[in-house]
A and B are shown apart, each in its own frame.
Chain A
Amino acid sequence: MRRHLKILEFALSALWRRRFKNLAIVVVYGFTIAVLASILLMTDAMRGEAEQILIGAPDLVVQRVAAGRHDLIPVDYAEEIRGLPGVGEVSPRYWGYYFDAFTESNFTFVGIDDGPPYELELLEGRLPSAPSECAVGEGVARARSTGVGHELTLISHDGLGVIFDVVGEFQASSSILTNDLVVFRNADLVELFGIPEGRAVDLSVEVFNDGEVSTVAAKVKRIFPDTRPITRSEILRTYDAVFSWRSGMLLTVFAAALAAFCILAWDKATGISAEERREIGVLKALGWSTRDVLELKFWEGAAISLTSFLLGLIAALVHIFLLGASLLAPVIQGWSVLFPEFRFTPSITVYQLFVLGFLTVVPYVASTVAPSWKAAVTDPEEVMRG
């Protein structure tokens, strides 16, 4: 044990002797890890947020389409759909996007009948239950500097200002879900948006058996040719494709940085400087065994890798969760320019750490130990002569 510690001490002082060269390696190495970790953490956080949305998503959503454009659906369609075998509750939904001219951002308005639309946690207050009441998301409250007990003024479909009392403010485990959300009673929303009598934005359909969803969707399409049924798995696939595509694009851009890192590692792996070679020769001449030399090189590699890994990881965590991924967000989110600013829910898994470590630390340590082994097994005299 003592021997190992002595070798470790020697390794650390050896690193210190060449501190500027090693510092340069740590900076490049740490930066590479920070970028890689940022992309990984961010894609995962985004996917987590999207999954949160889908927890409460209905099995099947039926929209009406007029010449390929989304149109309001007659509420009577619900009766016939409810009669199909395997179908449970069919309820009309009222919701829409609202461009807020004061803050130049988009809000999402959702109407409720009874009970919350998804599993949402209220930060404070309650859900709207009387006319002219609403509950707002954190982002909306911040943008319009309002909150529980205050008012929210909106412009209705006929251009008149309407005042709502804010009775609740949301806090969901996923902020993308409630950040830009304003919840009203269905009747208020119908009036605000000017939705004609007997129409709804779409219908949410409950299907008991997951295996039967596509059959029900096909039947709905057959009975009402002017509708477009969207299954939950389709929504899931879309989200997945969007995020995979975006993170793939980022990885492509980042490939250059990864290539640079590979060249650095390759450089270390193939060439070992004359000075290092001489040092190994001296150690061997002093009576160090090949095993000791390899252990020394292993400690050196491990110290550099772990320092860079930790620095890179901390930089990535600060970037994603404290600074809201300010450098990457515009690329990955895309449509978020009009979106009230939001923060990711911090999360990191052992799996992510393992992937990162395996992609960076292991190749580096291996590439520092391999050439030293070549130098260490040759005769010390030959090594010192060059």
Chain B
Amino acid sequence: MRIRPAIIGVAWILLTTLGAGTARATDPAPVPGAKDRCGVCGMFVAKYPQWVASIRFADGTVVFFDGPKDMFRYLLDLGTFRPGATSGQAAAVFVTDYYSTRPIDGRTAFYVAGSDVMGPMGAELVPTADRSHAETLLKDHGGERVVGFGEVTVELVKP
């Protein structure tokens, strides 16, 4: 009977990667519709195109957020928001670059914490496409520090 969880696990992986696995990291960023709400706070996201963030899971489902902070709260606490899912199932993460207002890969972006730039939910982790831009933003808007995707902690995104 010990084998059973393993079998289920393998079946799950096969199902998600082969069966319904239509999502790839290279797909273009999803665009929120008027009715799409933030996966954490429930606010409509289409009203804040300069802040939209999204996660596309391996099974093709997309969750939108009204800012990177809510996205990190979701990702760092998947057990609450999406029981049963693991962070490995997030096929693609998109955030909106502060300077170009275009979607960029959230995993390679640099985030500025503690700046005076306010998002729809107040203080934000402001995403930028590269480190030099992040440093500029830090200087222009009185930020505290620049963090990469992997360095974001629960303390940093406390509401």
Chain A contacts to B: CB under 8 angstroms: 85-86, 208-212, 215, 219
B98-127 residues with Cβ-Cβ distance < 8 A to A are 98-102, 117
Assess whether B140 is in contact with A209, with CB atoms less than 8 Å apart.
no
Task: Supply 17 A–B pairs (Cβ within 8 Å), ascending by A.
Answer: A85-B99, A85-B128, A85-B133, A85-B137, A86-B99, A208-B99, A208-B100, A208-B102, A209-B50, A209-B98, A209-B99, A209-B100, A209-B101, A210-B50, A211-B117, A215-B140, A219-B140
Q: Knowing A211-B117, A212-B99 touch, does A85 contact B136 (C-beta < 8 A)?
A: yes
Which residues of B have CB within 8 Å of A85?
99, 128, 132-133, 136-137
Which residues of A have CB within 8 Å of B102?
208
**Shortest beta-carbon distance from B74 to chain A in Å:** 24
A86, A210, A211: which contacts B100 (Cβ < 8 A)? A86
**Shortest beta-carbon distance from B51 to chain A in Å:** 10
B132: nearest chain-A partner, CB-CB: A85
| Cα-based distance from A156 to B100 in the complex (angstroms) | 42
| Cα-based distance from A211 to B137 in the complex (angstroms) | 12
Chain B contacts to A: CB under 8 angstroms: 50, 98-102, 117, 128, 132-133, 136-137, 140-141
**Shortest beta-carbon distance from B46 to chain A in Å:** 16
Most chain-B Cβ atoms within 10 A of its Cβ — which of A85, A86, A215, A219?
Answer: A85
Which residues of B have CB within 8 Å of A209?
50, 98-101
Which residues of B have CB within 8 Å of A212?
98-99
Q: A209-B100, A211-B50 known; 7 other A-B pairs, CB under 8 Å?
A: A85-B99, A85-B137, A86-B98, A208-B101, A209-B50, A209-B99, A211-B117
| Cα-based distance from A210 to B102 in the complex (angstroms) | 13
B50: nearest chain-A partner, CB-CB: A209
4 closest residue pairs by CB, A with B: A86-B99, A208-B101, A85-B99, A85-B133
**Shortest beta-carbon distance from A39 to chain B in Å:** 35
Which residues of A have CB within 8 Å of B99?
85-86, 208-209, 212
**Shortest beta-carbon distance from B135 to chain A in Å:** 10
| Cα-based distance from A330 to B38 in the complex (angstroms) | 53
A207: nearest chain-B partner, CB-CB: B99
| Cα-based distance from A209 to B50 in the complex (angstroms) | 7
Which residues of A have CB within 8 Å of B98?
86, 209, 212
Which residues of B have CB within 8 Å of A210?
50
| Cα-based distance from A210 to B50 in the complex (angstroms) | 9
| Cα-based distance from A211 to B140 in the complex (angstroms) | 12
**Shortest beta-carbon distance from A215 to chain B in Å:** 5
Most chain-A Cβ atoms within 10 A of its Cβ — which of B100, B133, B141?
Answer: B100
Which residues of B have CB within 8 Å of A86?
98-100
B137: nearest chain-A partner, CB-CB: A85
**Shortest beta-carbon distance from A83 to chain B in Å:** 11
A88: nearest chain-B partner, CB-CB: B100
**Shortest beta-carbon distance from B17 to chain A in Å:** 37
**Shortest beta-carbon distance from A81 to chain B in Å:** 14
| Cα-based distance from A212 to B133 in the complex (angstroms) | 13
Which residues of A have CB within 8 Å of B132?
85
Which residues of A have CB within 8 Å of B101?
208-209
**Shortest beta-carbon distance from B39 to chain A in Å:** 24
Which residues of B have CB within 8 Å of A211?
50, 117
| Cα-based distance from A117 to B80 in the complex (angstroms) | 52
**Shortest beta-carbon distance from B26 to chain A in Å:** 24
Most chain-A Cβ atoms within 10 A of its Cβ — which of B99, B136, B140?
Answer: B99
A86: nearest chain-B partner, CB-CB: B99
Which residues of B have CB within 8 Å of A208?
99-102
| Cα-based distance from A219 to B137 in the complex (angstroms) | 12
| Cα-based distance from A209 to B48 in the complex (angstroms) | 12
| Cα-based distance from A207 to B50 in the complex (angstroms) | 13
Which residues of A have CB within 8 Å of B141?
215
**Shortest beta-carbon distance from B92 to chain A in Å:** 22
| Cα-based distance from A211 to B141 in the complex (angstroms) | 11
Which residues of B have CB within 8 Å of A219?
140
